């Protein structure tokens, strides 16, 4: 009995020490992030009050956050009153236009070259799997639309989207939700269910886990390309294409939407491009499209280094006219 009490007391002390360390670590990261945010605030909203995130343990399920995100954070629909077939855009902060005014976004600039409704379904921090999730789980919305003429996915370079295919929680430990990812089961993608909720609720384990993921992806995707990794990437795009056909193309294949990936990828694009183009998905490398080798060269002015290196309206004003030359009915 005495031994059991000693063990219980020891475990309690250890847990208390760990929680204190975890809280200190959490607010250390908060301090770092706040400094970055403050430095960017003049580009975002100088009048916005900066809120300090509260320490948390429990992580929220993605499906519980989805409806609120879609309702409150999407960009406005451009050419909303047009009767033409719409254009859908998916992606991350590159497509959303992270911190930029709406006039700098791909959807706004595309609307200046198209009479079609432009519906931007991108959200900062999302990735390829979030497009798949929307098509699988928000069918009622997509059925309500006219069949789109074009569907674009804006693919960030490998430093962002490829790692995100593996995260259990968002790479920034200040986020309080599980990060949506899929695993392969019987050659199909099934949503990865949250596990060890309490463990991943702590900041230190979340940080360690994300470092492990980044290290794994760096090795398997870029240092020594791994077929298993690229098979997962390809399966995501093929699964998306399958959902597009289910919603809009099953009975009218000839009029099915054109699915186009606008890629910021570089040398590793060949590992997956040919395979998915065999299935009718078009991949357009943005650098090649506009004839520029290094898009992030500051002299070109396409990216804003002060705000996490995101593409601005100047880039999209180069890209969209080139797309219009290829797809004249854009």
What is the pLDDT at residue 125? Answer: 87
What is the pLDDT at residue 75? Answer: 95
Residue-wise pLDDT for 249-306, tens only, equals: 765 656 789 999 999 876 666 778 888 999 899 999 999 999 988 887 777 888 876 6
Q: Is the pLDDT of residue 228 over 60?
A: yes
301 vs 295: CA distance, rounded Å: 9
Residue-wise pLDDT for 77-110, tens only, equals: 999 999 999 999 999 999 999 878 899 999 999 9
Mean predicted lDDT score pLDDT of the chain:
85
What is the pLDDT at residue 274? Answer: 87
What is the pLDDT at residue 159? Answer: 62
Q: Are 295 and 287 in contact, with CB atoms under 8 Å apart? A: yes
157 vs 285: CA distance, rounded Å: 11
69 vs 247: CA distance, rounded Å: 23
pLDDT-based confidence at residue 318 (cuts at 50, 70, 90)? very high
What are φ and ψ of residue 145, in 5° steps? -90, 155
Residue-wise pLDDT for 23-63, tens only, equals: 999 888 888 776 655 555 555 555 555 566 788 877 788 88
Residue-wise pLDDT for 153-172, tens only, equals: 999 876 667 888 888 777 67
What is the pLDDT at residue 2? Answer: 75
């Amino acid at each position: 009995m005495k031994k059991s009490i000693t063990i219980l007391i020891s475990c309690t002390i250890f847990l208390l020490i760990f929680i204190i360390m975890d809280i200190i670590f959490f607010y250390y990261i908060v301090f770092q992030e706040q400094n970055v945010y403050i430095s960017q605030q003049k580009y975002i909203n100088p009048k916005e009050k900066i809120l300090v995130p509260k320490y948390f343990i429990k992580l929220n399920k993605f499906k519980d956050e989805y409806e609120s995100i879609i309702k409150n954070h999407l960009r406005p629909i451009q050419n909303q009153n047009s009767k033409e077939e719409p254009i859908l855009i998916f992606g991350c902060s590159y497509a959303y236009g992270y911190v930029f005014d709406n006039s700098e976004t791909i959807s706004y600039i595309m609307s200046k070259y198209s009479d079609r409704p432009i519906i931007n379904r991108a959200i900062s921090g999302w990735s390829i799997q979030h497009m798949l999730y929307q098509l699988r789980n928000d069918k009622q919305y997509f059925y309500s639309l006219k069949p789109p003429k074009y569907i674009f996915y804006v693919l960030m370079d490998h430093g962002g989207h490829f790692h995100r295919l593996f995260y259990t929680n968002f790479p920034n430990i200040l986020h309080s939700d599980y990060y949506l990812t899929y695993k392969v089961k019987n050659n199909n993608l099934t949503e990865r269910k949250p596990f060890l909720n309490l463990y991943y609720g702590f900041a230190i384990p979340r940080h360690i886990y994300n470092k492990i993921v980044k290290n794994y992806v760096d090795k398997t995707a870029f240092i020594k390309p791994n077929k298993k990794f690229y098979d997962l990437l390809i399966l995501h795009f093929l699964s998306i294409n399958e959902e597009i056909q289910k919603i809009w193309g099953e009975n009218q294949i000839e009029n099915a939407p054109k699915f186009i990936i606008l890629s910021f990828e570089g040398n590793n694009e060949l590992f997956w491009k040919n395979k998915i183009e065999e299935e009718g998905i078009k991949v357009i490398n943005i650098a090649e499209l506009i004839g520029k080798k290094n898009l992030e060269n500051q002299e070109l002015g396409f990216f804003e280094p002060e705000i996490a290196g995101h593409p601005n309206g100047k880039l999209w004003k180069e890209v969209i006219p080139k797309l219009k030359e290829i797809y004249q009915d854009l």
